[in-house]
Structure 1
Amino acid sequence: MTSRKLFSTFCNKRLSVNGLNKRSVGCYSTSSAERQYIPRRTVMYVPGHDLKKLRKIPQLNTDCAVLECEDGVALSKKAEARVNICQILEEIDFGPIDCAVRVNSVSSGLIEEDLKIILSAKKLPQTVLIPKVDNIDELNYFTDIMKREINRRKETNYRPYLITFIESGQAVMNMVDIIKTGLRFSEEGVYLLDGVVFGSDDFCADIGATRTSEAGELIYARQKIVMTAKAFRLQAIDMVSIDIKDQESLERQSLEGARMGYTGKQIIHPSQIDTVNTAFTPSHDKVEWATQLLDAFNTHHQSGQGAFTFRGSMIDMPLVLQARNILQLVKNIQRKQ
């Protein structure tokens, strides 16, 4: 077979889904149904016990607002946080913001009460976040509670997006099994596993590492987590930057995470939103490059000319797929706005 025919055959196999590769951002799917891609460039935690902060969410430009039951809420405030979250879910129109709730971990002993109260609310969150998932037993336990509490709501077909946290050495080692288990429950219709979050500070504590602004101590875990998440076509949310006054470090970390392949970053303060959103949004030059490359690709592919050069570089399929990913991400972001 000639190189031209090989290139053409490869293109047809990789670009056969309505003109868009399922590997592209926004087009991944379980075998049961396509999932709408929800941009989560910024994943911001808002403490559930603070009604004043919760009511400010619609004014924020964050992609995902996490109503917090876990680390951001003191043990003495957990019950208050649950009640407040139920109230806010009914009271606020979140508009284009992904409304999420982070419950406590299985190991905390608080998750059952969290889900019992929050899933009894008149309106429910679009996304549920479960922290500190170290093994499949914990995900099984969480899922059993989810099933039970959802089944109590006989009038609804509630099926939230699910995002799990990797926050320990054990979790990193068990990540593939955890994801496979989550995808199996997704097929069963309990929820839709949609992403993975890297909980860097708990991870450092677990392995005895010293946290630095350069994050060199986390390079292996960061790369392992994003690679594994993307292998299963899931979103990957990068570590939090805890120094809210250090915008330079925040920008550096955000751009680095975006280059690694992360789709977004955790944030803890409104002052971090614009910096992170910008870092995880393709630049004008990048969008222009992707648009022109795909125009050139389509012209050459339709004419049967095979491989071609663009701006002095030989173009192969990984670059074509990268261009498609960029334009699909921009489309998803625009749809949110």
Structure 2
Amino acid sequence: MSVVARRLWPRRALFYTPGSDMRKIEKLRKLSGAGIPDFVALDLEDGVAMSAKTQARENIANTYEGLRADMPNVQFGIRVNSVSSGLLSEDLRILRELKYAPSCLLLPKVDSAEEVREFVETYSLALGRCRWKLKAPVPLVSFIETAQGLLNMRESFQAILDSQYIKHEATVFGSDDFVASIGAHRSQNGEELMYARQKLVAHAKAFNIQAIDMVWIDFKNLEGLQENSMQGANLGFTGKQVIHPANIETVQRVFSPTEEKVQWASELLEQFAEHEKSGKGAFVFRGKMIDMPLVKQAENIIVSMRSAS
């Protein structure tokens, strides 16, 4: 497997907006300051009733270009329905209505490499009917939501990597569907999800993509949200799913490096650069022995800071 490092759009907060609800779509423009998310998913999947799918597609097609123009610092992705739903082809007809390629697509319930290949085939057929030409692969955000999907991550991610039409940039952990798939009970501290979360992060890092953590469903509990976000950040997640506007600021703050961390990382890398000239290995920084794993951590902090700025 060959993975080339690249800078990705920051996705500290993934905020869902159902495509069937024009009121909520219009409210996006009213978000301001620290409450503006990095990433918005205009949803055709779980957030939309089956009877409202057609209306949701029309709403997204009619508002997509305007949202991108009005909010240039937000990436607007379209979450289509899964391959297994039978709705994917109809969802991708939206692409014909757009003036340009979408900023991002989100593919839920990725369970196997076979599903990935079916998605790519359906997507490539849809591209052939668009009035615009694909100049670069469209960013893709995958969702791992079942035990089968978790076990097949490596093969699924490799299948995405092999496609010339899409660029895999992030993967999302669908905690509620995963809990149901393994027959567990959702707890406050999420101990039943720890293995799955760590495995998803490991695969994300191996493929050099972002890892977006579970939803905090008790959205009025901001203290709990902060603790859960910090837990995810400490596990290696780079962002978190958000279902309420009041949660955006907290999540994006937690998933941004603090000034203290940025200063530590900057000074460490400066000293490392000087020390490296000597040809020696570990060195002492602020009274502690520093080796390459800590240098890598410092580099990660600087990359995270630049992506969020």
Post-superposition offset of 1:190: 0.7
Q: Which residue of 2 aligns with 1:270?
A: 245
Q: Tell me, which stretches of 5 or more residues in structure 1 are unaligned? A: 1-28
* 1:104 counterpart residue number: 81
Overall identity of the aligned pairs, in %: 45
Equivalences, count: 301
Equivalent residues of 1:251, 1:279 under 8 A apart: yes
C-alpha distance in structure 2 between counterparts of 1:153 and 1:317, whole Å: 48
The aligned counterpart of 2:56 is 81
What is residue 10 of structure 2 aligned with on the other side?
A: 39
1:53 aligns with 2:24: yes
| SS, match of residue 277 in structure 2 | helix
Which of 234, 239, 246 is 2:209 aligned to? Answer: 234
Distance in 1 (CA, whole Å) between partners of 2:292 and 2:10 is 25
- Retained in 2: the 8 A contact 1:238–1:264? yes
Deviation of 1:285 after TM superposition, in Å, equals 1.0
Distance 2:7 2:128 in 1: 24
Residue in 2 that maps onto 1:216: 191
Unpaired segments of 5 or more residues in structure 2? none
Residue among 128, 142, 148 paired with 1:170:
148
* Structure 1 match to 2:106: 129
Hey, what's the Cα distance between the residues in 1 that align with 2:29 and 2:239?
A: 19
Distance 1:50 1:118, change over 3 A: farther
Q: Distance in 1 between matches of 2:276 and 2:233?
A: 30
With the length of structure 1 as denominator, give the TM-score of the two structures. 0.86
**Is the CA contact (8 Å cut-off) linking 1:57 and 1:65 kept in structure 2?**
no
Structure 1, residues 277-322: CA drift from partner, whole Å, max 9, x if none? Answer: 0110011111111111112112222344543201111110111111
Matching residue within 79, 100, 117 for 1:140: 117
Q: Name the amino acid aligned to 1:331.
A: R
Match of 2:97 among 95, 117, 120: 120
Q: Do residues 328 (structure 1) and 303 (structure 2) align?
A: yes
Superposition TM-score, scaled by structure 2 size = 0.93
CA drift at 1:58: 3.8
Deviations 1:312-334 (A, max 9, x none): 11110111111111112111211
Deviations 1:10-51 (A, max 9, x none): xxxxxxxxxxxxxxxxxxx855xx644110000000010111
User: d(CA) in 2 for partners of 1:305 and 1:207?
Assistant: 49
Q: Does 1:200 align with 2:200?
A: no
SS in 2 for 1:122: coil
- What is the root-mean-square deviation of aligned Cα atoms in Å? 1.6
AA partner of residue 181 (structure 1): A
- Cα deviations across residues 228-286 of structure 1 (Å, max 9, x unaligned)? 11111111110111111111221111101101111100001101101100110011111
Q: How far apart, in 2, do the equivalents of 1:234 and 1:116 lie?
A: 27
Contact kept, 8 Å, 2:95 with 2:130, in 1: the verdict is no
Which residue of structure 1 aligns with residue 269 of structure 2? 294
Distance of aligned partners of 1:264 and 1:296 in 2 relative to their CA distance in 1, 3 Å threshold: same
